[in-house]
Each structure stands twice: as C-alpha cells, then as structure tokens.
Chains A and B, each alone.
Chain A
Amino acid sequence: MIIGEQKRLDEIAGMLEGQRRILVAGCRSCVAICLAGGEKEVAVLAESLRLLSSLRGKGWEVEEATVERQCEKEWVAELRPRIEGKDCVLSLACGVGAQTVQAMYPKVRALPGLNTSNMGAPEEAGIFVEKCGGCGDCVLHLTGGICPIARCAKSLLNGPCGGSQGGKCEVSPDTPCAWEEICRSLESLGRLDLLEEPIPPKNWLSARDGGPRRIVNKEAVLSEEQKRLKGGKA
C-alpha cells in the first residue's frame, strides 16, 4: 500500500491562504489504513481548519467528502456535485489521488494535504515501513524476499556495506540493515549460495530513471468500438 503522512497544519493553512470555499477530500484506501487521509482524518482536519478560521478570521467554508479510491476516475466522478462551486480541494489522498482530482476538475485547485512517502506496510500499530522500491525489475528471488532497493539506504545489490553494525544501518539506529536481514533470510532458506555471486549493475530503465512509466495490458484495452458502446451506455 501507499504510505503517507499529513502535512503540518500551519503548512496546510499557508496553502489555503486566500481561498474561501474548501472541500477536504479523503480516500478510504491506503491512506485510511495508514491513518493519514481516511474519513476520520478528514473530519479531524476539517474541524481544525474551521477552528483556525474562526480564531484568525480566515473566512474559510470547509466541507468534507471521502471516496473509495481517489486514484480512480470512476470514484472521483462522484465528487462532482461537492466540488462544483469550490475554490479548492484539499486532498488527503496520496499524490495520485490529488492528481486525479486535478485532472478531472481543471478549474478548481487541488492542493496536497498529505506527503506521499512510500510503498510499504503496517509493521505494528501506528508504525508503517517502506518495503518496495518500485524499480520495475524485481530482485526478491535473489535477496531472500527482502528488497534492497527500498530497504538499503544505498540500494546496494551486493551488500552489506561496511556501515552495518549490530543489525542496524549506518544512517540511523532505528533502521534495520536490509542486508543483515537478507543474509539471515538466505540462511533460513538454505540459499547462502546466492551471496557468493556478484550481482551485475542493474538496468534502471524500468525504474523511474527510464522516464515516467506506463503499463499497457493489451487484453484489457478497449477498442474504439467498445469505447463508443460503453460511452453510449453511460
């Protein structure tokens, strides 16, 4: 899932300067699970903004709405009656959701209320950890099911580096060394042989370095005829 965290209230207030009619828009998917942009967080933020507005005379009119998935046009279409007439949408979805809103409502500003951080998982209550680097060329079969791209501070494919001590990464005592974990995992899998062979330089073309990525699933792509028929039904 996508992990994010809300921006600070003063930063959000700064973005809303000069706006009047505001819709705080949440998402019930990933950002709800990481407690950053679901229905509850939308309600709390909207209330904080109303309070701030009345204290400082900002004149904000704040409404709330939360959709199932803000990254999908079908769900964001439901927001049309709520967005019309607003000056801005403060999106508490990830950056994908905020962009979907902006693309569908080009005359209303979509403002990011959340910093999108990473692709990760809940580790324990309230703790969310990055897991996948989204490099487009998965190496988990070589690294004991642990992603060195995301979880090693240097994205080393032939770790651990000389900064690994006591199972921790050199960048922070709170960060586990991914390569220590890879060694332990390969140990328990009986595949320590995988540590012997140098992994050659990676092809980053499938990662963000190759430019923005677009995946086409040919079987799912509609023909012009099918698009027309679908459009007709709708």
Chain B
Amino acid sequence: MSARSNLERVLLEGRFAVTAEIGPPKSASAESVRKHAREMRGSADAFNLTDNQTAMSRMSSIACAAVLIQEGLEPVVQMTCRDRNRIAMQSDILGASALGVRNVLCISGDHQTFGNMKEAKNVYDVDSVQELMILRKMRDEGKLWSGDGLEVAPELFLGAAANPFADPFEYRVTRLAKKVRAGADFVQTQSIYDMDRFERWMALVRAKGLHERVHIIAGVMPLRSPKVALYMKNKVAGMIVPDAIIERLRSAKDPKEEGIQLCVEQIQHLRGIEGVRGVHIMAMAWEEKVPEIVRRAGLRR
C-alpha cells in the first residue's frame, strides 16, 4: 500500500513516529502558526491542529493546516463532532483535501460547557465513530454518506483518539476496537502520566491484536509547573496525574527543566512498550520546547 501522507509513510516503514500539537491562535493572523512551524520544523513527522479545543473559538484547524502546508510542514487536522453536522463535516473534508490535508483526527470534542460560550447549542449529529465511518466511505468508495458519488475522492489517513485513563477502564479497548472497525488507521492517546495504567491498557490492546491493526501513537504533555500538573489532574476531563509526579515537580529546583526531563523519560519508556508506534507531544503554549524534547529523547529527525 502506498502512503497517503508522510505520517503514514513513517509508520508503514516501521519508524517511530513523532507528532506534535500546535494550538491555533485566538487571532485573525496566522503569524503564530508560522512561528511555531519555523520553530518545530524537522522535529516531528506531522503536526496536529486542534479544533476549537476546550470549546473556545480559535482560528479554524483547516485554515491553520493550509498555513502549515505553505510552510512546508504536514498537518493533522483535528475535527470534532461538536460544531458541525454531517453536511458541514463532509464539505470541510473536501475543502481540506483540496488544500492538501491528508491526515484527519476524528474526535467528539470537549463539551461546550468547558468553554467560554457555555450557552452555545452543540451539534453531535454524529459521534467520532460515525465520523470515521463517513470519512472512510468518502475515501474508499468515493461517495458521500448519502451515496452520491464524488468526482474525486479524498485521500485520507484517518485517525482517532483513545483515552486509557477514562472509565469504564475494561471497555476502553472495546471502544478502540470499534474505532478500528469504523476505519481508524492511527490512534493518538490522551496524555499519559499514569504509566502503570497505560501499560495495563496496552496489554489489553495487544490481547485483542489491535496493535497490529492500528498504529498507536502515545500522547505526552510536558508539565511546566506543579500548578499546571494540578490543573491537569483536577480540571481536564479524562486525565489522571499521579501525586508522585506533582511531588517531583514541586520539590524540583527548576520545575520547568524537571517537566522537560520527565517528558523525555516518559517518551523513552513508551518507546520500549510493544505496540507503541510513536509519540504525540502536546506542549500546549510551550510549543518551542518540542525540538529540545525530541532531541533529548533521542528521536533524531
């Protein structure tokens, strides 16, 4: 099978993939995206553009992806089910494809009550599993969900999210299997801090043979302070941050350096787990640290 994107090529060749996240700006200027692109060039195989993350309006992920392509980098467009129905979703995919987007991550999205416009109406016409079904049909059959044919089908490398830290734990892998059946080619996980739980999850993934059917990219997020760690633990949906990590940052002389070091150690650990094909680095509002993390983790690009 020929690769549809650079990310797919890296994964098919069996190289350890690196993806990194870029947060779109609250701005009508894409200058910050260009700045991140220049800083992170060469440090990852593809770059995720979040889609109005935590339900706050930001520059559209597709527009940011187009900017990234102009800068010569490969985007992963995140597309939530919260803000668009199946009509808008398919239209956006056609537009994104025309702009050169190949990697799409299908997610349900944080509920709008997390954001700063809680009074908004949500959409959820389809969920992330159904989004995968629709996009796969567009790609494989060259048809819209309605059955109408497309003159040119989009070439897509389809991604899904998995959260080993959400509950009920024993059914998280069942849902991953569902996403694989629905069309997921790769999976990016929630940020991993509780390594024991992640290892237990991976054991279940392997027991079902899913690691052979989908590329699993493990998520990491460097912590810049014990305060951020506490925030992640208490305020972010579906996140587990063990107290030992908070304590390690609290007792560190230089918490920022400790946070980077911790992230580097996590990546090195994850790399050794059977079935983990890459890492996804989410350095939120700390994107400039990605090249250093990648270098120190020994992931030379």
Interface of A with B (CB < 8 Å)? Answer: 153-167, 170-172, 177, 180, 183-184, 192, 195-202, 204
Least CB distance, B205 to chain A, in whole angstroms:
15
CB-nearest residue of chain A relative to B108? A161
A154-B81, A198-B182, A201-B134 in contact; A160/B237 too (CB < 8 A)? no
* Minimal beta-carbon separation of A181 from chain B (angstroms): 10
- Contact of A171 (CB < 8 Å), options: B108, B113, B166, B171: B113
A-B interface contact total, Cβ < 8 Å: 105
Q: Pick the contact of B126 from A171, A172, A192, A201 — CB < 8 Å?
A: A201
Question: A166 CA to B83 CA in the complex, in Å?
Answer: 27
Instruction: Check B133 against A162 for contact (C-beta < 8 Å).
Output: no
Cα–Cα distance between A171 and B115 once the two chains are bound (Å): 11
Does B201 count as interface, using CB distance less than 8 angstroms? no
B161 in the interface (beta carbon within 8 A): yes
Interface size for chain B: under 10, 10 to 19, 20 to 34, or 35 or more residues? 35 or more
At the interface, is chain A mostly helix, strand, loop or mixed? Answer: loop
Q: Which residues of A contact B130 (CB under 8 A)?
A: 157-158, 198-201
Is B127's CB under 8 angstroms from A158's CB? yes
Closest 10 CB pairs of A and B: A162-B163, A158-B129, A163-B237, A170-B237, A156-B127, A162-B238, A201-B130, A198-B182, A162-B166, A201-B126
Q: Which residue of the partner chain, among A158, A163, A164, A200, contacts B168 with CB atoms under 8 Å?
A: A164
For chain B residues 125-180, which have a beta carbon within 8 Å of chain A?
A: 125-130, 133-134, 145, 161-163, 165-168, 171, 174-175, 177-178
Contacts of B108 on A, CB cut-off 8 Å?
A: 154, 156, 161-162
B124 on interface, CB distance cutoff 8 Å = yes
Q: Is the CB of A180 within 8 A of B168?
A: yes
> Chain B CB within 10 Å — which of A158, A197, A200, A202 has the most?
A158
